[in-house]
Structure 1
Amino acid sequence: MKLKTSIGGRVYSFGHLKEVFGKANEERSGDDLAGIGASDLKERIAAKAVLADLLLSDIRNHPLLPPEEDEVSRIIEDSIDEAVYGPMSGWSVSELREYILRTETTGDELLRISKGLTSEMIAAVAKMMTNLDLIQAASRIEVRTRCNTEIGHKGTLSSRAQPNHPTDSLEGMRASLYEALSYGIGDAVIGINPVTDNAYTTKALLEAAKEVMDVWQIPTQNCVLAHVTTQMEAIKQGARADLIFQSLAGTEKGNRAFGIDKRLLDEANDLINSEGSAQGPHRWYFETGQGSELSSDTHHGIDQVTLEARCYGLARVYKPFLVNTVVGFIGPEYLYNSKQVIRAGLEDHFMGKMHGLPMGVDVCYTNHMNADQNDMDSLAVMLATAGVNFLIGVPMADDCMLNYQSLSYHDIATIRELFGRTPAPAFRDWLQERGIWVNGTLSPLAGDPTLFVQGGRKDG
């Protein structure tokens, strides 16, 4: 395995594969903070050149974090389809990239070969791609999942309604939710972040969302994004939960910092499948985001793009209904500016899709980051072009509870109109019945939350 190259008469030599991976990344403030990023553009180019020539077997045979030392590594290794991996094992990373980007390579073929790729291989090829490459490749992949309803169809763009409230007020949550529904938002999930992480509040929010769904016969799913153990207790107390949620990290130690491990995820999986209120087979909702392992000092010297890919390697074992990266939520320590956020969003979406996941993105940033809402609009448009499964919306693009900036409900509606996308089929039909969706777009009634407090009137 050759870990050196010569550029312009200068020899660049790398001590180990982990160093190559870190320095081949596009510039990332998190990698710089961890001391594993390239020192300059020339070193980054050299690392990319070395990585491009490595064989997939080199990456598998020299794990960045050995399976005997890490639970996530074992899960990724055990999930590989040897019959798919075998014929590709002698490919270089650059050959994998070329295969992915060939005009004749279909989305179904990408999903087939993904079964033979480790998360590190998928991360490696992402490092070799331009933003346009990431968009092109991801746009071919269709991943459909079913909970109560099915999402992921070509030509659709689903959405999570995020009606958070700073005091967990049920009335306040419902007011925000009514606005979301009036814009056609919420077909992926009604997903609420609670302020208070206890079973009582979680159950109350789950039931409040479920009551709205029942009263208005809304074809969607509910979820409260408390810690998985809190949700489990609420379910055991009789709460109706369609999905169970958890944030993931790309290392065993990172997941322990989140208070989880595989044993707990397996227990939660059994519970939601036996006592959850959903109809379909896919009942997990996972969130990720570059930099979480660095923030908990559990990164093992591995770059944040590769660690993010490893999150997806863990997630795919549980066949989730939804996965999204909260791309700019952690802050400038990990993604310094809009350029880094946009790149990370496209990387994450591509890597998730290449793991066969129903990938969404919370297009977001924090107020102390060098980014603004125009940058988020640009990323949202790129992701729509890339075929993202769903986006997240909050009132006026400003989450009053989590104190960060995302997309608004009407932003997602605008992107649907711009690209000719519809909500998921069952939700679209429901909007048509309510007079909110007419002739392939929102009607003049859209944006009026009183539709859900005044008897659902259909007049102007």
Structure 2
Amino acid sequence: MPMPYSHTLGGQVWHFADLATLMARATPLRSGDVLAGVAARTMTERMAARMALAELPLKAFLSEALVPYESDEVTRLIVDSHDAAAFAEIAHLTVGDFRDWLLQDSTDETTLARVRAGITPEMAAAVSKLMRNQDLIRVARKCRVITRFRNTLGLPGRMAMRLQPNHPTDDARGIALSMLDGLMYGAGDAVIGINPAGDGLDALGALMRLTDEVIQRFEIPTQSCVLTHVTNQIRAIEQGAPVDLVFQSIAGTEAANRSFGIDLAVLREAREAALSLGRGTLGDNVMYFETGQGSALSAGAHHGLDQQTCEVRAYAVARAFEPMICNTVVGFIGPEYLFDGKQIVRAGLEDHFCGKLLGLPIGCDVCYTNHAEADSDDMDNLMLLLGAAGVTFLIGVPGADDVMLNYQSTSFHDALVLREVLGLKRAPEFEAWLERMGLTDADGRLLPAPSRHALLEHFA
């Protein structure tokens, strides 16, 4: 039976029936948890839950599964892949002690890498609930996760951008012009990734060939991806399409992943198919995952957990497949789950911290929908905070307005501001290519676009 958790605060004893309840009540306020009926009812209850959580031994997460082992393959993945030897270094700590340990100067990049496999998603989620925003930034900045396909992501002092050239009708010329726009602004080192409007294999194959032709013709050290369902990408590979990264949205419970039409077996099949192509020149990180707080709740598959804990469980799925990139689409699901700018900013920092702590090359789509209580100033704040935290990559769309998915993200211009303010460079191979192409100087600053350029002539 689950053990009861309690704490005395303000002359009242607060009881929490099980670990899932304790985690949910300790979570910073967000609309999705209120919608699910799991949020703390008062600030006092939230503080009592945090104090009880701070006293909880990390070992407790190894003895009480938040989603039953017998009925959930994500839980089985978490339990079966846990590294007891890596955990031994922190096994004596409570959640509160773990926070203090993470913040110590002596807990450096090497130390964090050493214990990474011993940290479960639930441990990461728990400690994040006790941390201030600055704590999340400081610790995430110490985590180093490096991946390679045709370039190298995650190196210190660098931040990549996904070039997202979407079009509402998958018009090839419209997509090509957005690609040109992004490349001329120095974006695209994370991936050139298209969200297609349709899902027919012929149309998908055409988009794959469009991006591959540009990459191959101009020898761009980057990778491409058409973000359709993973089974479409497997079929495309079988038909000889030029697939670089295989994409899939994932969640933190088996039932939520089933709502996406996937399980761990199909992800393994997809990874093996992509690896069989041997298209990477520097490495074999071939997967691209996207996540987002609220996905399990929207599928009715959250098992009574708070949405942030469900989100971090998705990172266990992601890290099992050694992705090139993974990002939280933080404000995309809508205000039912993250109501306003304050909640979106907090969620983005939590997701980034937990992803980095667990060893993911985590990025963020700093975004919001038009019916959320958020605006571009909120996104500027989150973008700068994530840049300071060492985010692996952000998203670039023309004018920050995705005309196909109908939401607000970040632009190619935003990346330029972030690089200037924080001194961030691109992936080294991509940076060298931009200089060779005469698009940037030796310091990575954009040069005035010439009237005639090979890229301009190709897309004309």
Cα displacement (A) at 1:115: 0.9
SS in 2 for 1:13: strand
Whether the 8 Å CA contact 1:178–1:450 is kept in 2: the answer is no
Distance 1:449 1:133, change over 3 A: farther
Runs of 4+ more than 3 Å apart: 446-451
Aligned partners of 2:167 and 2:127: how far apart in 1? 40
CA contact (8 A) 1:142 1:152 kept: yes
| Alignment counterpart, residue 333 of structure 1, candidates 336, 346, 350 | 336
2 CA distance for matches of 1:200 and 1:298? 33
In 1, the alpha carbon distance for the partners of 2:372 and 2:284 equals 39
Picking from 282, 293, 297, the partner of 2:285 is: 282
Report the Cα offset of residue 87 of structure 1: 4.0
Q: Which residue of 2 aligns with 1:441?
A: 444
Residue 20 of structure 1, CA deviation: 0.3
For structure 2, the 5+ residue unaligned runs are none
- Please state if 1:423 is matched with 2:423: no
Correspondence 1:390 to 2:383: no
Contact 1:203 1:235 in 2 (8 A): no
Which stretch of structure 1 is more off in the superposition, 89-98 or 385-394?
89-98
* Superposed counterparts of 1:62-211, under 5 Å: 62-211=64-213
Aligned pair in 2 of structure 1 residues 326, 446: CA closer, same or farther (>3 Å)? farther
Distance 1:176 1:44 in 2: 46
The aligned counterpart of 2:348 is 345
TM-score computed with the length of structure 1 as normaliser = 0.97
Do structure 1's residue 258 and structure 2's residue 260 form an aligned pair?
Answer: yes
- With 419-428 and 438-447 compared, the bigger mean Cα shift is at 438-447
- Using the size of structure 2 for normalisation, the TM-score is 0.97
Q: Deviation at 1:198?
A: 2.2
Query: CA shift at 1:269, angstroms?
Result: 1.4
* SS class of match (1:453): helix
Kindly state the Cα deviation for residue 446 of structure 1 after the two structures are TM-superposed: 5.4
Cα distance, 1:453 vs structure 2: 2.0
CA spacing shift, 1:419–1:251, aligned 2, 3 Å: same
SS at 2:59 equivalent? helix
**Counterpart Cα distance in 1 of 2:193 and 2:288:** 10
Question: What SS does structure 2 have at the residue aligned with 1:442?
Answer: coil
Residue 378 of structure 1 is matched in structure 2 by 381
Range 311-320 or range 439-448, more displaced: 439-448
How does 1:215-364 map onto structure 2 within 5 Å?
A: 215-275=217-277, 277-279=279-281, 280-364=283-367
Residue 69 of structure 1 and its aligned partner are, at CA, apart by 1.6
Q: CA RMSD in A?
A: 1.6
Which residue number corresponds to residue 54 of structure 2? 52
- Where does residue 21 of structure 2 map in the other structure? 19
Q: CA deviation at 1:455?
A: 6.6
State whether residues 80 and 116 of structure 1, in contact with CA within 8 Å, keep that contact through their aligned partners in structure 2.
yes
Given that 2:4 and 2:17 are in contact with CA atoms closer than 8 Å, whether structure 1 keeps it comes out as: no
Which amino acid in the other structure matches residue 243 of structure 2? A
| Structure 1 residues 7 and 234: alpha-carbon distance in aligned structure 2, compared to 1, 3 A threshold | same
Contact kept? 2:435, 2:444, Cα under 8 Å: no
What amino acid does structure 1 have at the position aligned with 2:42? D
1:216-263 alpha-carbon deviations (Å, 9 max, x no partner): 211100000000001111111111011000000100000000000011
What residue identity is the alignment partner of 2:252?
G
> Contact conserved, 1:189 with 1:221, CA < 8 A, in 2?
yes
Equivalent residue letter for 1:270:
E
Q: Deviations over 1:147-174 (max 9, x none)?
A: 1111111011101000001111111111
Inter-partner Cα distance in structure 2 for 1:230 and 1:447: 40
Q: Secondary structure at the match of 2:225?
A: strand
Deviation digits for residues 46-103 of structure 1, max 9, x if unmatched? 1101111001111210111121120000011111111122343231001111110001
Other structure's SS at 1:124 match: helix
Q: Which moved more, 1:232-241 or 1:28-37?
A: 232-241
Partners of 2:373 and 2:452 lie apart in 1 by: 34
CA distance in 1: counterparts of 2:12 and 2:133, whole angstroms:
28
SS of alignment partner, residue 457 of structure 2: coil
Task: After superposition, give the CA deviation of every residue in 1:253-308 in whole Å (9 maximum; x if it has no partner).
Answer: 00000000011111111111113533321000000000000111000001111111
Which structure 1 segments of 5+ residues have no match? none
Residue in 2 that maps onto 1:34: 36
**Relative to 1, partners in 2 of residues 1:58 and 1:244: Cα closer, same or farther, differing over 3 Å?**
same
CA distance in 2, matches of 1:88, 1:137: 16
Is the partner of 1:306 in helix, strand or coil?
helix
Give the CA deviation at 1:450: 6.7
Cα distance in 2 for partners of 1:293, 1:227 equals 18
Identity of aligned residues (%): 48
Q: Are the equivalent residues in 2 in contact too, given 1:240–1:276 (CA < 8 A)? A: no
- 8 Å contact from structure 1 (residues 159, 393) kept in 2: yes
Task: Provide the C-alpha distance between the structure 1 equivalents of 2:303 and 2:450, rounded to a whole number of angstroms.
Answer: 47
| Per-residue CA distance 1:378-429 (angstroms, 9 max, x = gap) | 1000000000010001000000000000001111111111111111000000
Q: Which amino acid aligns with 1:124?
A: A
Q: Give 3-state SS (helix, strand or coil) of 2:157's partner.
A: coil
Contact 1:179/1:447 (<8 A) preserved: no
Q: Within 2, Cα distance between the matches of 1:48 and 1:71?
A: 29
What code does the residue aligned with 2:287 have? W
- 2:180 alignment partner AA: Y
| Closer, same or farther: CA 259–148 of 1 in aligned 2, 3 Å | same
How far, CA to CA, are the matches of 1:442 and 1:329 in structure 2?
A: 31
